Structure 1
Amino acid sequence: MIFIEIKENEVLDRALKRFKKKVERVRVLKEARARMHYTKPTIRRKAEKAKAIYRNKMMHANNA
């Protein structure tokens, strides 16, 4: 469970922003979305490989 303590005289928008950052770091939403539908291990590996290739391509494009 994620807790955020609102400090004295803190604007609610600021506390909400901190909460969103904390949720993003813990990857709660990403895991929940991933569990909504079953993906086969082969499809998951294929997607991870495609992401790695894309990242590698972008890294080399930026360095060139």
Structure 2
Amino acid sequence: MLIIPVKEGENIDRALKRYKRKFVKTTIKNQLQERKQYTKPSIARRAQIQKAQYIQRLRDLENI
């Protein structure tokens, strides 16, 4: 649960903006999206391998 202390005289829009920023940083949004739909382990593993290959290609291009 996220707690955002609101200071005296602070605009509610600023507090809401801080809440949204904190919400994104805590990766709760990503967890909710992952739980929304089941992903087979084989597909998750394939996505992880593809991500690793992509990162490796980027690193190789930087070193050229």
Q: Specify if TM > 0.5.
A: yes
Go from structure 1 to structure 2 and tell me whether the alpha carbon gap of 1:36 and 1:10 turns closer, same or farther (over 3 Å shift): same
Relative to the length of structure 1, the TM-score reads 0.78
Shift of 1:8: 2.4
Go from structure 1 to structure 2 and tell me whether the alpha carbon gap of 1:12 and 1:58 turns closer, same or farther (over 3 Å shift): farther
Q: For the pair shown, which has the larger CA radius of gyration, 1 or 2?
A: 2
Unaligned runs of 5+ in 1: none
- Give, in whole Å, the separation in 2 of the partners of 1:9 and 1:59: 48
Instruction: Write the mapping of 1:1-64 to structure 2, written as runs, cut at 5 A.
Output: 1-64=1-64
Relative to the length of structure 2, the TM-score reads 0.78
- Superposed CA deviations along residues 1-50 of structure 1, whole A, max 9, x for unmatched, are 11111122333333222212211222111111111111110100110111
How large is the Cα RMSD of the aligned pairs?
Answer: 1.6
Aligned length: 64
Deviates more, 1:50-59 or 1:13-22: 13-22
